[in-house]
Amino acid sequence: MMNRTTRIAVIGRRYQSTVVAKNGNGNGKPRQSRSAPTIIESKQPEEPSLGESAHFKHTSEEALATPGIKFSDGHGLKGPTGRGRQTRRMNLYQAIRDALGTALATNPKAFVFGEDVQTGVFRCTTGLVDEFGTQKRVFNTPLTEQGIAGFGIGLASVGACAIAEIQFGDYIFPAFDQLVNEAAKQRYASGGAYPLPGGSLTIRAPIGSVGHGGLYHSQSPEGYFLGAAGLKVVIPRSPIQAKGLLLAAIRDPNPVLVFEPKILLVVEEVPVDDYTLPLGHAETVKEGSDLTVVSYGTPLHTSLRAIDLICNPPPQLVSFLPNALKPPNPAPSIQLIDLRTISPMPIIELVESVKKTGRMVIVHEAGKSGSVGNDIAGEVGRRAFEYLEAPIGLVSGWDTPVPLTFEKFYQPDVIRVFDKLVETLSY
Question: Which residue numbers are catalytic?
Answer: 145, 217
| Pick from 118, 124, 185, 113: nearest CA to 149 | 113
- C-alpha 34/C-alpha 260 separation (Å) is 46
List alpha helices for 30-183, DSSP H: 60-64, 92-106, 128-132, 145-157, 176-177
* First-to-last C-alpha distance (Å) of the chain: 43
Angle formed by the axes of helices 298-311 and 414-426, nearest 10°: 60
| Pick from 206, 280, 240, 195: nearest CA to 98 | 240
- C-alpha 231/C-alpha 185 separation (Å) is 8
Beta-bridge mates of residue 112: 138, 163
- C-alpha 189/C-alpha 191 separation (Å) is 6
Helix (H, G, I), strand (E, B) or coil at 177: helix
Q: Report whether 208 contacts 175 (CB < 8 A).
A: no
Q: Report whether 287 contacts 307 (CB < 8 A).
A: no
- C-alpha 103/C-alpha 325 separation (Å) is 49
Beta-bridge mates of residue 341: 234
Q: Report whether 239 contacts 90 (CB < 8 A).
A: yes
Q: Exposed e or buried b for every residue in 256-292, given b needs 16+ CB within 10 A?
A: bbbbbbbbbebbbbbbeebbbbbbeebbebbebebbb
User: Which helix (H) or strand (E) covers residue 424, if one does?
Assistant: helix 414-426
The pairing of strands 334-338 and 341-343 is: unpaired
CA 208 remoteness from chain centre: 7
